[in-house]
Amino acid sequence: MASGKGGRRVLLLCGDYMEDYEAMVPFQALQAYGVTVDAVCPAKKAGDICPTAVEQYSPAHQTFSESRGHNFTLNATFDDVEFEKYDGLVIPGGRAPEYLAMDASVVELVRKFSDSRKPIAAICHGPLVLAAADSVRGRKCTAYPTLGPVLAAAGAYWVKPETMSGCAADGNLITGATFKGHAEYIGLFIKALGGNVTGSDRRILFLCGDFMEDYEIGVPFQALQALGCHVDAVCPKKKAGDICATAVHDFEGDQTYSEKLGHNFTLTADFDALDISSYDALVIPGGRAPEYLALDEKVIAIVKQIVDANKPVASICHGQQILAAAGVLQGKKCTAYPAVKLNVVLAGATWLEPDPIHRCFTDGNLVTGAAWPGHPEFISQLMALLDVRGRRVLMVLGDYVEDYEAMVPFQALQAFGVSVDAVCPAKKSGDICRTAIHELSPAHQTYSESRGHNFTLNASFDDIEFNKYDGLIIPGGRAPEYLALDASVVELVKQFSDSGKPIASICHGQLILAAAGSVKGRKCTAFSPVKPVLVAAGAYWVEPETMSACVVDGNIITGATYDAHPEFIRLFVKALGGIITGSDRRILFLCGDFMEDYEVTVPFQSLQALGCHVDAVCPKKKAGDICATAVHDFEGDQTYSEKLGHNFTLTADFEALDVSSYDALVIPGGRAPEYLALDEKVIALVKQIVEARKPVASICHGQQILAAAGVLQGKKCTAYPAVKLNVVLSGGTWLEPDPIDRCFTDGNLVTGAAWPGHPEFISQLMTLLDVQRRVVLLCGDCMEEYEVVVRFQALQAFGVSVDAVCPGKKSGDICPTAIHQHSTSQFLTRSINHLCSAVFTSINSFIWKKETEC
């Protein structure tokens, strides 16, 4: 699918009485896929509303009927639109386009998108705006049938829609007849943005009833269809082709929601003929339907069957009334529309407050949301359970794997959007591997070892399906010594090696590569004592000049020790299809003795892997000094245990800091914050960063420092639960870290409770830092048009900033391109000038490049 973190941004052009579905479905579906959507309306600003229209088609009438829909809240201001920020444009239908087409500012904006050849998607009456902007001349397009004469007069090649779900694509222009075509329409738009929508084998069942909430059925149903999922909607006592009436629930200043009649929703399958076992997940919309569906024994049986099969269930708003009646919430943590809290609690569940109202939660295979404003998160969390999207890599572990070498890539890659399954032979998901802390010291001839964290596996070795994975990671430590003797491990590594998929191995991990015959004739490095084995296995040994050395040979990436993690992870991401070339962001870590070992090193090395300049300082210490760290773990006692962690080397002098030169501050947890909170210089540093409105990311006990600095007043945040008192007494609003890996962003503040939350913690900080993705496109006169334009726009669609440059030319200059057209007899070539926005710039940002279908 389309971009994730730091990805694409599109503009949604709204107006009063635009069609309700045609605004909200793409708005929320695109967000669920990771695309940022700004909704604007002329003469209105962020926070204003546009009333929408529900347009209903019936054989009983010669044209559609109209009634009032939801109020659509804009999230951006039209007058603040910067065209260059956007990668595409969406124009809903309804009656709004009739007057938007007469607005000079709207027409001019649409022309900019059209001239730039950025993707434009317009549906129903939306193409009226395209006609006014002269953007359909010579282009194939469709629309609501009554627009045929206008579009033809504007020079379009009219494609009459055979059904109301008809769509047409011509270059960067996607048009649709009505919202019934959303699945294809959104899919085409994602493809035009550079995404690759190729379908999914997932089968999803929606449990419907009369007066279910209109959005809560329409948005997730069409969003999942657009992903290629097979989606069925059923209702008791109804069959395929029957309709369910829906309800528009909105807040309009009364003590509870108002209700209006929504769209008629057409069912796709017969309730009584269902084979429940054929579905992979169940979705339960809210509205008023659940209160009577909860009384239906067949409905209850369906829910129990899905839950007993451990398949995902996603329920929103009042839908949890059905889950409560089915008795499947016992011991679960969930949310719902606040009025349903009593049902949830009496059913034995732990209530999670939906604050804000769009907040959603996942507990095992259960996704719950409070109301339709949470759809982007609701759909995204369901997608995660369905494993619909994303890169996936395998990490092979064993007892006494090196602590850092397991956890740093495990959490860093997840923060970058890569799914990581950690497995160990003879162990299953939920089991632990004990880790080892290996410390190198000039005082000893080899490393020392002590006990590290317990690493919890998240997958079972015996369940591995090789074809699901895009790459393999092998950490070091002492585990590889015996894993190299395990026939199942060796066979697995051989599969990755023979397939050419990327393999990243560090420290002693290369022993397994040697056992699998994967290093023969390949350059590699490792921890130096592994050299004789690698040479005997036929490798070309590369002596590591430092403990941070890495070597690449084809699909094999090898590193010497965990000191090499920033480059090691960067090279692995590149081998997966990404390119990491640096960032101009400068990040400061505030350290102290006995800070938690993971909580400094995982985010420190992750940010380094992104190319950020990262400094670590400690009061009364200077660059090159060390801070002792602490391993905090839960091992069955009433509180965490503590063991000695790695020594962490500082990179800058505290006393010589120019705080204004940094873009963000990170505060690790552990025991250091309790005494750092007493240091006046530390407090002054924190205040300076906060007052400059720069991002601050603090985890675990780190919030003790924020509380002491008085910067939590009015903020919503979390922390390690024992720090709750500090947060509340300092004026912060406490957010329960349930589960413990939950992190929160409030303005420029990111907070987390403990190191299991690192992927989300780092990801949220990356968002605040706006870590960009950038490549250079090397151009010249008479380059082939498609070969530059397709790559230029497709890479942009994946969140990659593309700078097009040409020797001897500057930004704004043009390169003439050549169109090479194959005919039956010859290649015809002609030159057409196209504008390339050439900007000479150093490449200094994180890039994630996904597969493109051209």
Catalytic residues: 507-508, 700-701
Cα separation, 310 vs 428, in Å, equals 17
Tokens of 145: 């049938």
Convert 797-811 to b/e letters by CB count within 10 Å (16 or more is b). bbbbbbbbbbeebee
Give strand pairing partners of 363. 366
Query: Of 734, 733, 730, which Cα lies nearest the Cα of 708?
Result: 730
Pair 402, 507: CB distance under 8 Å: yes
Give strand pairing partners of 330. none
Give how far Cα 293 sits from Cα of 259, 323, 325, 516, 705, Å. Answer: 19, 10, 10, 57, 51
Q: How many helices (H) and strands (E) does the chain have?
A: 25, 51
Query: Of 177, 193, 40, which Cα lies nearest the Cα of 122?
Result: 177
Cα separation, 186 vs 222, in Å, equals 9
Pair 568, 654: CB distance under 8 Å: no
Contact residues for 636 (Cβ-Cβ < 8 A; gap 6+): none
Cα separation, 235 vs 39, in Å, equals 34
First-to-last CA distance in the chain? 15
Query: Of 484, 589, 498, which Cα lies nearest the Cα of 533?
Result: 484
Pair 683, 621: CB distance under 8 Å: no
Pair 457, 429: CB distance under 8 Å: yes
Is residue 253 packed enough to be buried (19+ CB in 10 Å), middle (13-18) or exposed (0-12)? exposed
Give how far Cα 421 sits from Cα of 465, 468, 470, 489, 723, Å. Answer: 11, 11, 11, 15, 32
Q: Computed from CA positions of residues 525, 528, 531, 534, in that sequence, does the dihedral angle turn out positive or negative?
A: negative
SS3 286: coil
At CA 563, angle to CA 767 and CA 581, rounded to 5?
Answer: 45
| Residue 638 identity (one-letter amino acid) | Q
SS (H, E, C) 356-398: CCCCEEEECCEEEECCHHHHHHHHHHHHHHHCCCCCEEEEECC
Which residue matches tokens 């091992």?
635
Contact residues for 808 (Cβ-Cβ < 8 A; gap 6+): none
Cα separation, 184 vs 233, in Å, equals 18
SS (H, E, C) 79-105: HHCCHHHCCEEEECCECHHHHHCCCHH
Segments in 610-718 forming alpha helices (H) = 672-676, 680-691, 703-708
CB atoms < 10 A from the CB of 482, how many?
14
How many Å separate Cα 87 from the centre of its chain? 18
Cα separation, 356 vs 4, in Å, equals 22
Tokens of 403: 């602590």
| Residue 419 main-chain phi, psi, to 5 deg | -80, 135
Classify strands 579-580 and 846-847 as parallel, antiparallel or unpaired: antiparallel
| Residue 62 main-chain phi, psi, to 5 deg | -80, -20
